[in-house]
Amino acid sequence: MAVKTGDAKTALASGSERFSASLVANQFEDEVHKLMELEENPYISFDKEFLRWMLSDGAAAFLISNQKSSEGISLRIEWLEGISYADHMESCMYMGAEKQPDGTLKSFLEFDHHEMNEKSILSIKQDVKLLSPNIVPYGGKILPELFKRRGLNPDDITYYMPHMSSNFFKDKIYDEHIKLGHTIPYEKWFVNLTQVGNVGAASVYFMVDELFNSGKLKKGDKIFLLVPESSRFSYMYGLLTAV
């Protein structure tokens, strides 16, 4: 924003996560995963135990400038746009709190030491009942209007980078695009979840960086970004062009 308004010529944008400090083994000694329930409802694995195995540490940054690099390819930011559904959706991912029956969060400040340990109040958690029916559909909710307003045709997209917490969601995202009438074939997808894991806020940086240094990019290629955030169902979208 500072570069776009002219307040700065260059800026750094970064994303970083250090989940491991709160996901060490001794925080899970008293918990046993329920395999039968998992078979009946695979979304149940997206609670605290799932997060333990699927979140990764990492950090990355982009250098943003008001002019392209004098050497090689640069990526021009065509637009970035975000939307949040926190006005009518409950918190889905949270930490340092316990979710109440009415959907509100009870802060760790309201628990004594024994309760905090017994209920794993300081652990990061997800409300799987809320996550399962909503995370993918809400990610696509704005896309038809966004594509029309921005004049973006799915056929114009060279690479599609949807951030996913797990490959469990890959087919579901693909199917949602079909429902919305703008199919983006798998051959256009560029994801590296199996190599770097789910590094939360830094994941999109790692995807763009890997493609940028792969030697595959050609001038004119367009990269469409989709980054969901399940805490309060907020989503960011963006379009980059190789120049």
DSSP 102-150: TS-EEEGGGS-HHHHHHTTTTS-EE-HHHHHHHHHHHHHTTHHHHHHHH
17/93 Cα distance (integer angstroms): 15
Q: What is the pLDDT of residues 175-189, one digit of tens each?
A: 999 999 989 999 999
- pLDDT at residue number 34: 46
Sorted by where each begins, the domain ranges of the chain are 72-91+127-243
Q: What tokens appear for 56 in the block? A: 């990764």
Q: What is the pLDDT of residues 89-112, one digit of tens each?
A: 999 999 899 999 999 999 999 999
54/176 Cα distance (integer angstroms): 23
Phi/psi for 86 (5° steps) reads -65, -15
The whole-model pTM stands at: 0.87
Q: What is the pLDDT of residues 26-84, one digit of tens each?
A: 665 555 444 455 556 655 455 555 566 678 899 999 999 999 999 999 999 999 999 99
Does the pLDDT value for residue 165 go beyond 80? Answer: yes
Class level of CATH domain 72-91+127-243: alpha beta
228/215 Cα distance (integer angstroms): 27
Q: Mean pLDDT over residues 142-167, rounded?
A: 95
List all residues 6 or more positions away from 56 whose beta carbon is below 8 Å from its beta carbon.
17, 19, 196, 197, 198, 199
Alpha helices in 6-45 (DSSP H): 35-40
